[in-house]
Structures are given as structure tokens and as C-alpha cells.
């Protein structure tokens, strides 16, 4: 038992960091969902609505806070994605990759449907293939970067497996 106590004492700081990161991952998803709620609220308003400016200011402040809190973490992930698939293209702030609005899926609870023209336009490069135009978009539940190439969405990175980066595949068109 004394050995376990000594191990715990020696690894206390490490264990605390794991706990803090785990809590931060949860708050990253929660904060992104709060940002989506504001964005969806704004999309539902007309410019003439008396609350439009107030909601727009709240959303802008929330985006700034989100980028301040999680920007360096997500930009590091974006940098790896860009280096692998979109070399030479500028990495933007994480909130730039958000859709203008997110519609809750009627098919799968907790999922969202996006218009396929959402995201940041990128030139997707693969070995032996000409560059293709695609969109890179930030999607919730869990937070992840997805690539839409006109054929479908492909996962590039997810907050659930933060160190795993996926290589998108070119869909064969008959």
C-alpha cells in the first residue's frame, strides 16, 4: 500500500494534468455548442429584429473568447491538417471554419446537418492527383474537422482521438 501511495505522490502533478485536460476537452465541446447556439440564434433573426445587434455582439464576444481559450490548441491541429493535405494555404482562426448555421439532424439525435457549401475552401492535394477543391468545416458532437469534397464528408481530426489524424480518400466517380 505504501508503494501505491509513493507512486501517487510522484505522479500527482501528471494525474492532475490529465484530469484538467479531460475537463478542458469536455468544456471545449460544451463551449463550441454554446457558440453554435448563438450562431443559430443569429441566423434565425432578421436584420430588422431589435435583438439582432445584441445577439451579434454576444456571438462575436463568444467567438473571441473561444479563440482565446482554444485557439492555439485547435490551430496546432489545423496546422498538421494543412501541412498534410493543403500545403501552402493559410491556417485561419478555428471559428473561421464554422458553418454559418448548424441544423439538428432529424435522423440521428445529437448530430447536425450542414449545407454542403459551408466551411473554408481549400485546394486538397493528394499524391499523383491534381489538386481538388474541397471545404474544411468544424463540426460538433464531438468537435471535429471534416472535409467535404463534393462526394461526401470525411473525418480529418476529432477531439475524441486528439492525436489521430485521418487521410481523406478520393471517391471514385463512375
pTM: 0.78
Q: Is 112 a residue whose pLDDT tops 60?
A: yes
Q: Domain spans of the chain?
A: 2-165
Give the residue with greater pLDDT, 134 vs 110: 134
Is the pLDDT reported for residue 65 higher than 90? Answer: yes
| Residue matched to cell numbers 501517487 | 8
pLDDT at 111: 72
Residue % of the chain over a pLDDT of 70: 82
Percent of the chain topping pLDDT 90: 47
Buried b (16+ CB within 10 A) or exposed e, 118-151: bbbebebeeeeeeebebbbbbbbbbbbbbbbbee
- If one counts every other C-beta atom within 10 angstroms of the C-beta of residue 17, the result is 10
C-alpha cell belonging to residue 151: 462526394
pLDDT level of residue 143 (50, 70, 90 thresholds): very high
What average pLDDT does this structure show over 92-118?
Answer: 83
Amino acid at each position: 500500500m505504501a508503494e501505491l501511495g509513493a507512486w501517487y505522490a510522484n505522479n500527482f502533478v501528471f494525474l492532475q494534468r490529465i484530469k484538467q485536460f479531460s475537463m478542458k476537452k469536455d468544456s471545449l465541446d460544451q463551449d463550441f455548442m454554446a457558440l453554435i447556439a448563438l450562431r443559430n440564434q443569429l441566423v434565425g433573426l432578421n436584420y430588422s429584429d431589435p435583438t439582432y445587434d445584441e445577439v451579434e455582439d454576444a456571438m462575436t464576444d463568444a467567438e473571441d473568447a473561444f479563440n482565446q481559450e482554444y485557439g492555439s490548441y485547435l490551430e496546432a491541429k489545423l496546422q498538421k491538417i494543412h501541412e498534410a493535405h493543403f500545403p501552402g494555404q493559410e491556417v485561419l482562426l478555428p471559428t473561421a471554419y464554422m458553418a454559418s448555421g448548424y441544423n439538428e439532424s432529424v435522423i440521428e439525435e445529437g448530430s447536425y446537418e450542414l449545407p454542403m457549401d459551408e466551411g473554408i475552401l481549400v485546394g486538397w492535394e493528394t499524391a499523383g492527383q491534381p489538386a481538388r477543391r474541397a471545404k474544411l468545416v468544424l463540426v460538433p458532437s464531438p468537435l471535429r474537422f471534416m472535409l467535404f469534397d463534393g462526394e461526401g464528408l470525411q473525418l480529418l481530426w476529432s477531439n475524441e482521438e486528439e492525436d489521430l489524424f485521418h487521410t481523406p480518400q478520393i471517391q471514385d466517380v463512375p
